[in-house]
Structure formats: structure tokens, C-alpha cells
Amino acid sequence: MTLEKCFFFHNPEDFPNGLLLETHPLGCAFDDSIVHRKYFKDKLDYNNPSYNTKCGIYSQGCGLATGTMSWRHEDYMYLVAKENGTTLPQAGSFIIRYHSFYPLHKAGTYKHLMNKEDEDNLMWLQNIQ
């Protein structure tokens, strides 16, 4: 069995939060490094004052796994592996789940949400990019 992704876009303004080209956290301010961020202006999250701060509903250092990310094929594959008893090391699961979290591993944003385990795993993700 294979898991694949398929995108068919007519109009970027119709993208739901989970169907963008990259992963990003929900519940805190959208960083300028997010591709197509301009299309978020009509989303409820964009105008919610609780979500428009650096940490939003999270606390600094809470860990990426405690937050809510936009849902994409990465999370699907991560959950399939996790729910089927993967033998991958923690770094491997982190790579699967966050490999399209470009604002983090390319632009260096959202590091304030990371815990020590995330910091250790980020090194492995950056090594394969």
C-alpha cells in the first residue's frame, strides 16, 4: 500500500487552513514566512485576538506536539505510523510530521513553542532538507 498526496487548486482564496503548501501552527499569530498567508485574512483565526500574539493559546516551550497544526498529509502519515506501532525512532516520526513546517526549519520562526525534544529532533530534520 502507498500513501500519496494529490492537490488540485482552482483558486488559492478557497484553500482551507489545512490545504496549503506547508504546515503551520493554529492558535497563535500567523508568521509572515507562511506561504499564501495573505489568504488567511478571511479566516476566523486571523481576527481572533486570543490567537494573534506570538504564543497565542500556548505557552513558551510547550512543545510542538501539544499544539494544533494545520492538518496535511504529514500528519496523516505520522498518525498511520503511530497507530500501527511504528518502530521509527522519535526523530523519524518528527521528520515525517514536520517536514513541511517550513516556517520553522527554513525561516526559524515558531521556535519559541519548541521544547528540548523538539530542538534535538529539529537538527535531524534540518540535516535531511
Long-range contacts of 11-18 (CB under 8 A, 24+ apart): 12/36, 12/39, 13/39, 13/42, 15/39, 17/43, 17/45, 17/70, 18/70, 18/71, 18/72
* Residue 112 annotated as lining a ligand binding site: no
Q: Which of 65, 72, 90 is nearest to 3 (CA)?
A: 72
What is the distance between the alpha carbons of residues 96 and 79, in angstroms, rounded to a whole number? 10
24 labelled as ligand-binding? no
Q: Please report, in range form, the residues annotated as the binding site.
A: 73, 99
Q: Please report, in range form, the residues annotated as the binding site for Fe cation.
A: 73, 99
